[in-house]
Structure 1
Amino acid sequence: MKETLVFVHGMSHGAWCWEEQFIPYFEAKGYTCLAINLPGHAQEGSSKAIRYSLADYVQALKKLVDDLPEAPILIGHSMGGMIVQRYLKMGKAKKAILLASVPPSGVLRPSLRTLFRFPGAIPYLLQGNLLKAFKKYSQLFFNENPLAEVYKPKLCAESFRAYLGLFIPVTHRINCPVLVIGGSADGLISVDEFQQTAKHYQAPIEIMEGGSHDLMLDEGCEKTAAVMEGWIAS
């Protein structure tokens, strides 16, 4: 049996985003796959307000990993990448993949860039309603993916408290091997920020040409999965 992979989703997503493409791919390769639903994210499309902190999400990941017989490989997307970074300050993993992850410097620059591009999102931000902003400007996640209209209704409410936690930079290093993967056409995180993440962790980096923020849902997502599997197996 190959390693266990633990997938950690990003803001307003859930385990479903991994179950669409990546989990079938990796299970077919012989991996055991676990996708966590962070607190408040289990119901697809839920608009019910949640008020968890980023630390609550880190604790949820810790609880899952602590129950495993051996250290897994962690794969964190977007906010999930920051959760993985914070967890690995003291937690255990064989390897970690930061997929379109929030950089160690936090979300200040990505947030300002997004509001400059889409000033119509400012009222939603002031209301603390991230879900409405994400649904109105779904290109932040999906670019021109024709399946965006299928995925958009699955997005759920996100904790504004957790979002604020993403502004706090990470200063520690990670002891396990790390791979950084980003999309060249990511609507939220820039290639420069992916490079900063790789430099911070002295990690290899792969930029998927034309890739969106939701690399695991792109039309060409099997290319990203193949890069991940190649690195995991190396």
Structure 2
Amino acid sequence: MKNNTAIVFITGAFVHHSCWDEWKKYFESKGYTTNASPWPHKNAPAETLRNSHPNAEIAANRLSSLTDYYASIVKALPEKPILIGHSIGGLIVQLLLQKGLGAAGVAIHPVPPQGVFTFKFSFLKAGWGPLGFFTSTKKTFLMSFRQWQYAFTNGMDCDEQKDAYYKYLVPESKLIVRDTITRAAKVNFENPHAPLLLTSGSTDHTIPASLNYANYKKYKHSNSVTEYKEFEGRNHFVLGQPTWREDADYILNWLNEL
């Protein structure tokens, strides 16, 4: 795939869009143009957003409107871009590809579409708090440091975990998280689609590798390129781990081979 194609990076939940800064520099150095637009109501520094908690505007974000938001960004470009998303951003990559809105897609540790589920303990433990059952959906969910350690940065040094927490953590909509098990997250796996790579991490508590593999195995269209790669030692903070460049190298090579 030509390296002057635009790349649209799609951020996941709970983290600031600046998590893509090093990724943008990397792909721009390879000749790509990049875009990493913040989610609606999140165009402010991470600390400012945390201090706004509970934030009613962020709390009102929904998956369908977020998918439409990124669709509008893609449609405004002169050519179909490459879509690269993390977590819920990875799910949005899958949703946009089925609408024919990307030249190729990379879903990094994606939240799975409707109907792809696991009862693995780490997945249930990491997701219980953000779902916010028995709490008001008019208020955002702000992950505690202990929750962050388990759901995102498990296996990292405590100082690294703290640095990442204060640099990237933002409050989140409980409705966005709940929407991932509804029709707003439905993918028709039998339809043709642009080339898609799904990646996973062996130590990811939030989206276990087995769940990403089940997501990959759902795709049925034999003439569409769908590939899967599991990386050893990657947690859900994969974009900011010291190994991020290895992941980016793999993705770049995959794109170059299309």
2:146 maps to 1:136: yes
Aligned length in residues: 232
Q: What residue identity is the alignment partner of 2:24? A: I
Q: Normalising to structure 1: TM-score of the pair?
A: 0.88
Counterpart Cα distance in 2 of 1:31 and 1:223? 18
Distance 1:107 1:124, change over 3 A: farther
Separation in 1 of the partners of 2:118 and 2:169?
Answer: 23
| Structure 1 unmatched ranges of 5 or more | none
Distance 1:148 1:42, change over 3 A: farther
Q: Measure, in 1, the Cα distance between the counterparts of 2:252 and 2:70.
A: 22
Q: Choose which of 94, 102, 107 in structure 2 pairs with 1:98.
A: 107
> Could you say what secondary structure the match of 2:143 adopts?
helix
**Greater CA radius of gyration, 1 or 2?**
2
Tell me the C-alpha RMSD between the 2 structures.
2.5
Spell out, residue by residue over 1:166-214, the C-alpha distance to the aligned partner (whole angstroms, 9 max, x if none).
1125241351010011111002111111111211236211111000112
TM-score after normalising by structure 2: 0.80
Aligned to 1:162: 176
The answer to whether residue 212 in structure 2 is matched with residue 189 in structure 1 is no
Specify whether residues 117 and 71 from structure 1 end up closer, same or farther in structure 2 by C-alpha distance, changes over 3 A only.
closer
Alignment check: 8 A CA contact 2:116 2:211 kept: no
Distance 1:213 1:116, change over 3 A: closer
Q: Distance in 2 between matches of 1:123 and 1:213?
A: 17
Q: Contact conserved, 2:196 with 2:227, CA < 8 A, in 1?
A: yes
Give the alignment partner of residue 71 of structure 1, picking from 80, 86, 89.
80
The residue number in structure 2 matching 1:14 is: 16
Is contact 1:124-1:133 (8 Å) kept? no
Q: Which amino acid aligns with 1:26?
A: F
CA deviation string 1:58-106 (max 9, x = no partner): 1110111111000000011101111222223324111000101011246
SS at match of 1:207: strand
Q: Kindly indicate whether the alpha-carbon contact (under 8 Å) linking 1:6 and 1:34 is maintained by their aligned counterparts in 2.
A: yes
Whether the aligned pair in 1 keeps the contact of 2:152 and 2:205 (CA below 8 Å) is: yes
Report whether the alignment pairs 1:82 with 2:101.
Answer: no
